[in-house]
Amino acid sequence: MKLYRTWKDKQIIVDEAYHIERNIKPTALKYDVQPSQIRRWKKRLDQLLNQDGMTDEKKSHILTLKSTQTGGPRKENDVYDLLKLYYENIRNMDRIVTVNMLCFEFMRLSETDAPMIVLRKRIYRWLESERIVHRRVTHVAQNTHHDEDKIEGFVQYVNGQIDCGKYLNSNVVNIDETNIYFDMVGSVTLADKGSRTVSVKSSGSSSRCSILLGVTMDGKKLPPFIIFRGKPNGRIAREWTGNTDYPTSSIYAVQEKAWVDKEVFLQWIKKVWKPFCTNKGPTYLLMDEFSVHMMSECVNSIQDCGTEVDFVLGGYTSKLQVIDVGINKPFKGYVMECYERFMVNNVSGTKATRLDVAKWVEEAWEKVSVNTICNTWSSIGFINTN
Chain segment 172-222, per-residue pLDDT in tens: 999 999 999 888 765 554 445 565 654 445 555 568 899 999 999 999 999
The pLDDT, as a whole number, for residue 201 is: 52
The answer for residues whose C-beta is within 8 angstroms of residue 237's C-beta and 6 or more apart is 230, 231, 253, 254
Instruction: Report the C-alpha gap between 124 and 36 in whole angstroms.
Output: 31
Shared-domain flag, residues 88 and 180: no
Residue 346 within a domain? yes
Residue 237 within a domain? yes
Residue 368 within a domain? yes
pLDDT, tens digit (0-9, with 9 covering 90-100), for 157-181: 999 999 988 999 999 999 999 999 8
pLDDT, tens digit (0-9, with 9 covering 90-100), for 243-257: 778 999 999 999 999
Instruction: Report the C-alpha gap between 350 and 236 in whole angstroms.
Output: 20
Q: Does residue 320 surpass a pLDDT of 50?
A: yes
Q: Is the pTM of this model over 0.85?
A: no
Contact 225, 272 (CB under 8 A): yes
Q: Is 245 helix (H, G, I), strand (E, B) or coil?
A: coil
Shared-domain flag, residues 211 and 335: yes
Residue 196 within a domain? no
Q: What are the Cα distances from residue 9, in Å, to 64, 65, 70, 192?
A: 9, 10, 11, 65
Q: Does residue 237 surpass a pLDDT of 50?
A: yes
Shared-domain flag, residues 179 and 254: yes
Average pLDDT, integer, range 231-245: 82
Q: Number of folded domains in the chain?
A: 3
Shared-domain flag, residues 347 and 249: yes
Q: Quick one: how far is CA 151 from the chain centroid? A: 28
Q: Does residue 74 surpass a pLDDT of 50?
A: no
> Residue 244: exposed, middle, or buried by beta-carbon count in 10 A (0-12, 13-18, 19+)?
exposed
Q: For 80, which DSSP code? A: H
The pLDDT, as a whole number, for residue 73 is: 43
Q: Does residue 56 surpass a pLDDT of 60?
A: yes
pLDDT, tens digit (0-9, with 9 covering 90-100), for 15-41: 888 888 778 877 877 777 777 778 888
Residue 385 within a domain? no
Q: Which domain holds residue 98?
A: 76-129
Range with lowest mean pLDDT among 78-82, 91-95, 233-237, 259-263: 91-95
Shared-domain flag, residues 273 and 333: yes
Residue 201 within a domain? no
**Helices marked H in 65-135:** 76-92, 99-110, 116-129
Mean pLDDT score across all residues of the chain: 83
Shared-domain flag, residues 114 and 164: no
The model's confidence at residue 349, banded by pLDDT at 50, 70 and 90, is: low
**In terms of Cα–Cα distance, which of 50, 110, 45, 106 is closest to 75?**
110
Shared-domain flag, residues 158 and 274: yes
Q: What is the CATH number of the domain that holds 256?
A: 3.30.420.10
Q: Which residues of 250-278 are buried (b: 16+ CB within 10 A; e: fewer)?
A: bbbbbbeebbbbbebbbbbbeebbbebbe
The pLDDT, as a whole number, for residue 108 is: 85
Strand pairing category for 283-287 and 251-255? unpaired
Instruction: Report the C-alpha gap between 159 and 320 in whole angstroms.
Output: 12
The pLDDT, as a whole number, for residue 19 is: 84
Higher pLDDT, 33 or 227: 227
Residue 341, φ and ψ in degrees, nearest 5:
-65, -40
Sign of the dihedral defined by the CA atoms of residues 62, 68, 72, 76, in that order: negative
How many Cα atoms within 13 Å fall on the side-chain side of residue 381? 14
The pLDDT, as a whole number, for residue 71 is: 43
Contact 198, 190 (CB under 8 A): no
Residue 386 within a domain? no
Shared-domain flag, residues 84 and 171: no
The pLDDT, as a whole number, for residue 79 is: 82
Residue 228 within a domain? yes
